[in-house]
Amino acid sequence: MKIVVLGGGLSPERDVSKKSASLIANALLRKGHEVAVVDLYDGTDSDCDFRKGTDDLFEYAIPETEPDLDQIVADHGGREEWVGPGVIDICKSADVVFVGLHGSHGENGQVQALLDAYNIKYTGCNYLGCALAMDKDISKILVAGSGYKTAKWIKGNAEDLTVEGIEKEIGIPCVVKPIGCGSSCGVSVVKTKDELVKAIDYAAAYKQMVLVEQFITGREITIGILDGKALPIIEIVPHEGFYDYKNKYQAGLTDHICPAKINEADTKKAKELAEKFFEILRMDSYGRIDMIYDEEKSEFWFIEANNLPGMTNTSLVPDAAAAEGIRYDDLVERIALSARSGN
């Protein structure tokens, strides 16, 4: 097959996505496909011809800090249009587009709707599931409304959120986050009142509404879903602090335990819940659900859903798939083969 792997884009997770895209592309090359990697924002001005064979694999290293999007726009003459030149044409020329994006347009359904409009086949979740899952407020409304546990929360524009209001309604410790980012961009765990204002400013820098929720104590787990079915549970144990950007993407700072050491009954419960959340949020194909496990009460708290989870060879979904005997290259090809058009 001729496959375009879409990565990059104008998203805080741009760099993470470029890494995923290059590794996805290499897996597809090893499987004998013809592959081009295209940056959604940069477009095809730079070299993005189709490659074949394994002599010339793609490479990308994630910088330690989050990307400066304003600078990237400035470097492109201030262009605010987020679909770069030539992107639609090269996507149309392929059999399948593998959506290797993370965050913003790639994850909120806009790219999927755009590809639908051109009748282009793409991988992953449909546009509606993307939109619902990407909005942490809407996904919590749907999950809580269906009778499941999620931390109590409020949302608002940064300027409308006050320390007093948060203390009264949510309490401290709490977690402050942008309403629709990923990769822990803009997320802070707040333990003291003094940290709160800084945390709100940090989240607000992502130019979205801000969500403040109760901090849930427990073991952090995440469950990959493939074709609607839960993969083995992964427990996430950062060596220090919480699962922030650095702990997510710098090697060796976080342990992933898969399958998580959770008793059989709770494992079953967690997997069923993850599948349920996936369904409630109208997701399809593959994704990942983040939860906190209160072991004492055998309870699971919904944190958020990811419709374009990391797909590097050491990312969580590939890790979970491996625990079930699905090798990285096979997983990537399986997702590519299950691509469909939204029409």
Ligand X SMILES: Nc1ncnc2c1ncn2[C@@H]1O[C@H](COP(=O)(O)OP(=O)(O)O)[C@@H](O)[C@H]1O
Binding site for ligand X (CB under 6 A): 151, 175, 177, 181-185, 187, 213, 215-216, 220, 242-243, 290, 292, 303-304
CB 16 within 8 A of CB 310: yes
Residue 335 contact among Mg ion, ligand X, none, beta carbon within 5 to 8 Å by kind: none
Distance between start and end Cα atoms, the chain = 20
**Cβ contacts of 159 within 8 Å, gap of 6 or more:** none
At a CB cut-off of 8 Å and minimum separation 6, what does 283 contact? 125, 129, 130, 132, 133, 225, 305, 307
Residue (66 or 333) nearer to ligand X, CB:
66
Q: How far is the CB of 184 from ligand X (least distance, A)?
A: 4
Of 198, 130, 139, nearest to 163 by C-alpha is 198
* Contacted entry of ligand X, Mg ion, none for residue 16, CB cut-off 5 to 8 Å set by kind: none
To the nearest whole angstrom, how small is the minimum distance from the Cβ of residue 214 to ligand X? 6
Q: Contact between 319 and Mg ion (CB under 5 A)?
A: no
Question: Which of 2, 15, 12 lies closest to 312 in space, CA to CA?
Answer: 15
Minimum distance from residue 58 beta carbon to ligand X (Å): 25
Shortest Cβ contact with ligand X: which residue? 243
Q: How far is CA 41 from CA 46, 80, 321, in A?
A: 11, 9, 30
Q: How far is 214 from 326, CA to CA, in rounded Å?
A: 36
In the complex, least distance from residue 108 CB atom to Mg ion, rounded to whole angstroms: 15
Residues between 129 and 158 that touch Mg ion (CB under 5 A): none
For Mg ion, the closer CB: 213 or 290: 290
Q: Which is nearer to ligand X, 10 or 216 (CB)?
A: 216
**Of Mg ion, ligand X, none, which one sits near residue 183, judging by CB under 5 to 8 A according to partner kind?**
ligand X
C-beta of 62 vs 339, nearer to Mg ion: 62
Q: Report CA 133 to chain centroid distance, whole Å.
A: 10
Q: Could you tell me the smallest distance in angstroms from the CB atom of residue 18 to Mg ion? A: 19
> Does residue 220 interact with Mg ion by CB under 5 A?
no
Q: DSSP assignment of 102-129, as one string?
A: -SHHHHSSHHHHHHHHTT--B-S--HHH
* Residues contacting 216, CB < 8 A, separation 6+: 151, 292, 294, 301, 303
Residue 15 lies near Mg ion (rule: CB under 5 A): no
208 binds, among ligand X, Mg ion, none (CB under 5 to 8 A by kind): none
Q: How far is CA 96 from the centre of its chain?
A: 21
Please report how many Cα atoms fall inside a 13 Å half-sphere around the Cα of residue 188, on the Cβ side: 22
Residue 29 touches which of ligand X, Mg ion, none (Cβ within 5-8 Å per kind): none
Rg (CA), the chain: 20
- Which of Mg ion, ligand X, none does 122 bind, CB closer than 5 to 8 A by kind? none
CB of 103 to Mg ion, least distance (A): 11
Nearer to Mg ion, 20 or 44 (CB): 20
Binding mask 272-301 for Mg ion (x = CB under 5 A): ------------------x-----------
Beta carbon nearer to ligand X, 58 or 286: 286
Residues, the chain: 343
Please give the residue ranges that form the binding site for Mg ion (CB under 5 A).
290
